[in-house]
Amino acid sequence: MPDKTLNCKDCGVEFIFSEGEQAFYAEKGFTNEPLRCPDCRRARKQQRNNERYNNNSW
């Protein structure tokens, strides 16, 4: 499996989906390639965590 160049659906930047990442995805049973670059994935995860925190009004 050679490295693949993908385009982020959020920011449009090209990013590498490495051979190692592809093997990891296959091992976990994931069938879709990532749609977002690592920076956008990190930002989206942080946004979801913030939304969960803000929705839990103690």
pLDDT attached to residue 54: 79
Classify 24 as helix, strand or coil. Answer: helix
Tokens of residue 1, six digits: 């499996």
Note the residue count of the chain: 58
**What is the model's pLDDT at position 58?**
56
Entry pTM: 0.77
Of the candidates 31, 25, 22, 15, the one whose C-alpha atom is nearest the C-alpha of residue 1 is 22
Q: How confident is the model over 1-57, as pLDDT tens digits? A: 899 999 999 999 999 999 999 999 999 999 999 999 999 999 999 999 998 877 765
